[in-house]
A and B are shown apart, each in its own frame.
Chain A
Amino acid sequence: TQLLEQSPQFLSIQEGENLTVYCNSSSVFSSLQWYRQEPGEGPVLLVTVVTGGEVKKLKRLTFQFGDARKDSSLHITAAQPGDTGLYLCAGVGYGQNFVFGPGTRLSVLP
């Protein structure tokens, strides 16, 4: 069974700070997705990374896929209250099924 771990589980920071959250596995994935989920809503896709070592930027968010395709990180620069939410990583195995991590709950205080 493929498992994804995310750290930290909870993160509370002040507006303007930088942060990094991590998604780790002992399994290799064909691709990895990051979603953000706001209270009372379903997750919304932020990015998909496919190639080992790939870096993608989405405004203040930077996503990296590990060289070995087993881990990923999400870095947020100058966090804002609108970044508050649950960040989920989802790995896609070669069997095409998604495996979701437990999430990092981020709170950005004004």
Chain B
Amino acid sequence: DVKVTQSSRYLVKRTGEKVFLECVQDMDHENMFWYRQDPGLGLRLIYFSYDVKMKEKGDIPEGYSVSREKKERFSLILESASTNQTSMYLCASSFGAGGLYEQYFGPGTRLTVT
């Protein structure tokens, strides 16, 4: 059974804190993605990675960074959390690139920044 796990389901942080969101997949997928999901806006791509130590900016990378030191793990970092980063964060992985490949999603981390 394929699995994408995220380190926390719920997280509350204070403005200015450094926040780490961890994602692990057990499917040996090459591609991993970080999205944020906000009501009425759908999923917006923050960063993605096609290989270990490689990263590409998505549509909304400002205020975020990522790290992929191992194939199975993709971390999202909020260097200095702000209230406008309160959101649901979803990690996904896929075997290949593009629309012929299914993205498998984790359950999400609901982050609140106060």
Contacts and interface: CB of A to CB of B under 8 A. Distances in A.
A13 interface: no
A110 interface: no
A20 interface: no
Contacts, number: 63
Given A42-B106, A42-B108, A44-B105, A98 B99 contact: yes
Interface string B17-29: 0000000000000
B78 interface: no
Interface string A23-41: 0000001111100000011
Interface residues of B, number: 24
Contacts of A44: 105
Chain B interface mostly helix, strand, loop or mixed?
A: loop
Contacts of B58: 97
A102 B99 contact: no
A102 B9 CA distance: 22
Interface string A67-110: 00000000000000000000010111000111011110000000
Nearest to A44: B105
Contacts of A50: 99-100
Contacts of A30: 98-99
A43 B102 CA distance: 11
Interface of A: 1, 4, 9, 29-33, 40-45, 48, 50, 88, 90-92, 96-98, 100-103
